[in-house]
Chain A
Amino acid sequence: MDRSVASLLDLIHEQYERWRTGPPLDGAELARFFNAVGRTAAVIGRSDIAAEAERLIHRLNGQTERQWTAEEALMEMAPLLRCFYEAGKGASAIIPSSHCQGPKAAVLLCGNDPLFFAYVRVALQTVPWRFTTIPSLEQAAASMFRISLDCIIVSVKEGEWENPDLAVLLERAGQRPYLPIVIVSRDEGKEGRLKGYELGADDVITISAADELFVRVRRLIEKKRKIDDLVLIDELTGVYNRKYLPRVYARLRSDLERYGVPSCLALLDLDHFKQVNDRFGHLAGDAVLQKLAAFLRQHTRGVDTVVRFGGEEFVVWLAKTSKREARAVLERLRRQFAAEKVEVDGALLSCTFSAGLVECDEPDRPLDYWLRLADKALYAAKRGGGNRIEEAVREENGSSDEALRQAPTDRRRWRVAIVDDDELVRMMIADLVCKLAAEQKREADICEFDDGLSFLESPFYQSGRQSVVILDRVMPKMDGLEVLNRLRQERKPYKVMMLTSRQDERDIAHALDRGVDEYVTKPFKWLELEARLRRLLKELDA
């Protein structure tokens, strides 16, 4: 870049910094500034810049009253910046018209060069890239693992090559599986470029070649995509990700075919993980995940495989292990992990996990089959209150497991509990449910209870199968809200409709807050009651 043009850019940068720290500026001041830039540009022989400045001043005339923040002023002068970065030496526009699109990507812009970044943002408006700007290299290095990124563009000024923060940033980026780094520099010298490559940059672009930026960055992002597809390691926890599972299964299946030794697949899920995230934040959640992954790797054999299945679910695949042995191993892991502590911001957390276990002893089954069985067992473990291991139940005749087979027929029946102290109400609603069931050609199991306590003690409640519970708000012995609290606490899979004669809005909001699915007031509008009940029953099928 021409020396004089570069110093004019520096001038603009300085002015921007002053605006940034000062109060909002008015249109007149901005116009004066553009005027000054235009005159200087004319003096150094850049009539294109001068003309653009003239145009900007003209545009400002329409809005003299307006107050500008530094950021707005910067965006306003984007066309001017475009002249600086593109029009030198007859360079072309940054995006060749033939390549207006590219892959979606998250790009981090870091370095103290707001003018260039403003130019990039505006020039690449049409490209589906999401930009994040962090001016400080140090901060960028610190936050790199918290945001998911596809590329980093670092702006480096002359004399900044030796900045230790730059080295740290590049080193950090190097620790990720693959994260392309592009350095943009005003330095035309070969030495700077070499230094950049040496530090680990994937590309070094000089400002005068800014028009090549889009194409070069896009190429790197596409390359990263391909590499990501090949990577089998989960970034956060360092164990395999689910893409690795088919390979594990292929290996264990051949063991089974050749030597007849089964393996055991266990699907693990952290208990109440959402609460950890909600209460302590996502960083704490990540720490717990890392802890579990490290713990599993450490306490399993070399031939076993640990895979992060997604979210807070892990697969532990124990090679050459029978169901009985696997159960013992998992019980041991469960006990030990419950005793482990994770430190988060000085607080000590302890977590438990539940697991569903299945013995893979039929080589003809696809991987999905085993995962589905393990998932069923895991669900049973969760339903049993968590912190436990459940084995998958399979029918001996081998067609498919019981749970899978029974589900569809079981689903044909609606299970409904009516908890109300008014006998007439129970009768009315039971009659309505029967009518709706007949309408859908279903059968309905209806249980009536005249107070909350007898409902909670009933086998209906304890079975914990999907059902609709119609609950009166005010009852003797145990209040409707209390019953609701209990069943929400125990995570029963019930759809709850609450009946009440209270019409207070706050009451209704309160009940909805506690997890009521429907709320109906007495006296009933019959058609409304019917419609709401129908909707709720239909949700049972979903």
Chain B
Amino acid sequence: MALLVVTAAAVALFTLLSNLFLYLVVRKWREKRRQVRICAYKERHRLGLLRYLLGEEEQLLLPASPLEREAMIELLDHFAALLKGEQVQARIRALAEEHFQGWLRRRLSSRHWSERMNALFLIEDLRMQVMVPEMERLYRSDRVTRGEEAKLLAIFAQFDYSPVVAYVLEPKYELTEFAYRVIFGHMSERLLRQVEQRFDELPPAGKCAFVDMIGIRRREERSFLLELLASDELELRVRALKAMAEIGMKLEAARLEQHLCSPYWQERLMAARLAGKCREERLLPLLYERLSDRSFVVRSEAAAAIARLPGGRAVLRTAARTASDRYARDMARQWLRGEE
């Protein structure tokens, strides 16, 4: 009896497994055939599409089946990455908006995360502004995930879609600093100003990314940065100093001194970096003190800053010989050697 049960189970398992295997084989085979047909289509039509996009030909053979449509949109996406210039981009966008809107809309409301995400990438690459209402619907839906949210907001920022400001201040899921950077990196100056007015409402990660972006995009936000220096949060002060160093904003010696003597090495480091950009001789004694800082990076940055200031090399030479602190002497020597 037991043997019978075991045999039956084995047979059942075997049947199940072989069916599964067969199913997978067939699926793989169909997928491969699909890919081959897509490739063949792409090869046939790429030249025609290129000429159409370049405006050399006005006639374009449109895709007749779902498969061909997929091949066509892949081609279009690839061309969008290879060609720049307003005319070409406009033609790509017009083509996509005219023929692929319905298809993309269906994809955006798909049950599968991957299909929705791929649709978002396509919308971004082809710059299909038409799709904004659909994306808005997706953003408001309950289905939206953390990854989609970040992507959606980045696309909204690229398309200069105003509500993105409110979304960024109060995101559905907490956004990472990286996500914020991407979003702010895409935003127009107009949107960035709107965010700046409501800076205090941003979550901490957003604040940090926003201050960083001032330095990265070389925005001239001098008074805003000065206000930040008075902040209670160390991280914001540090990033404000860094941004100031990047945009080359000068700070008077008295205020710099305050940061150069901060109890936090991060702040002293950035203050020393900023001092190097200010090129004022009055800063030399302050930086000289920092040569004997507890932290190696601060000492190094201070030496670099001194070397940049007028008359700085002479100071370094003196320090290398006469400084009472051994670390300061070492650091000065290192810099002198590095420059020779």
A residues contacting B by CB (< 8 A) are: 422, 424-425, 427-428, 431, 522-527
For the residues of B in contact with A, the DSSP-based class is helix
A424 with B78: CB separation less than 8 A? yes
CB of B38 closer than 8 Å to a CB of A? no
Question: Please, how many angstroms separate the alpha-carbon atoms of A527 and B83 in the complex?
Answer: 11
Q: List 16 A-B contacts (CB under 8 A).
A: A424-B75, A424-B78, A424-B82, A427-B47, A427-B50, A428-B50, A431-B47, A522-B81, A522-B82, A523-B81, A524-B83, A524-B84, A525-B84, A525-B85, A526-B54, A526-B83
Within 8 Å CB of A522, what residues of B? 81-82
Which among A524, A526, A527 has the greatest number of chain B C-beta atoms within 10 A?
A: A526
For the residues of A in contact with B, the DSSP-based class is helix
CB of B288 closer than 8 Å to a CB of A? no
CB of B180 closer than 8 Å to a CB of A? no
Residue among B47, B54, B75, B83 making CB contact with A523, cutoff 8 Å: B83
Report the minimum CB–CB distance from A98 to chain B (whole Å). 60
A424 with B83: CB separation less than 8 A? no
A431 with B50: CB separation less than 8 A? yes
CB of B46 closer than 8 Å to a CB of A? yes
Report the minimum CB–CB distance from B90 to chain A (whole Å). 13
CB of B88 closer than 8 Å to a CB of A? yes
Which 7 A-B pairs give the minimum distances between C-beta atoms?
A523-B84, A525-B85, A523-B82, A424-B78, A523-B83, A525-B84, A524-B83
Q: Which residue of A lies closest to B78 (CB)?
A: A424
A427 with B82: CB separation less than 8 A? no
A524 with B82: CB separation less than 8 A? yes
Q: Which residue of B lies closest to A427 (CB)?
A: B46
Within 8 Å CB of B54, what residues of A? 526
Interface string of B76-110 (1 = CB under 8 A from A): 00110111110010000000000000000000000
Question: Please, how many angstroms separate the alpha-carbon atoms of A428 and B81 in the complex?
Answer: 13
B79 with A424: CB separation less than 8 A? yes
Within 8 Å CB of B75, what residues of A? 424
A526 with B78: CB separation less than 8 A? no
Q: Which residue of A lies closest to B39 (CB)?
A: A423
Within 8 Å CB of B47, what residues of A? 427, 431
B residues 37-85 in Cβ contact with A at 8 Å: 46-47, 50, 54, 75, 78-79, 81-85
B46 with A424: CB separation less than 8 A? yes
Report the minimum CB–CB distance from A252 to chain B (whole Å). 62
Question: Please, how many angstroms separate the alpha-carbon atoms of A309 and B81 in the complex?
Answer: 56
Report the minimum CB–CB distance from A475 to chain B (whole Å). 16
Report the minimum CB–CB distance from B127 to chain A (whole Å). 13
Within 8 Å CB of A524, what residues of B? 82-84
Report the minimum CB–CB distance from B63 to chain A (whole Å). 18
Within 8 Å CB of A427, what residues of B? 46-47, 50
Question: Please, how many angstroms separate the alpha-carbon atoms of A428 and B75 in the complex?
Answer: 12
Report the minimum CB–CB distance from A209 to chain B (whole Å). 58
Question: Please, how many angstroms separate the alpha-carbon atoms of A425 and B88 in the complex?
Answer: 16
Within 8 Å CB of B50, what residues of A? 427-428, 431
Report the minimum CB–CB distance from A522 to chain B (whole Å). 6
Report the minimum CB–CB distance from B93 to chain A (whole Å). 15
Question: Please, how many angstroms separate the alpha-carbon atoms of A306 and B79 in the complex?
Answer: 63
Question: Please, how many angstroms separate the alpha-carbon atoms of A444 and B153 in the complex?
Answer: 48
Report the minimum CB–CB distance from B253 to chain A (whole Å). 34
Question: Please, how many angstroms separate the alpha-carbon atoms of A224 and B75 in the complex?
Answer: 75
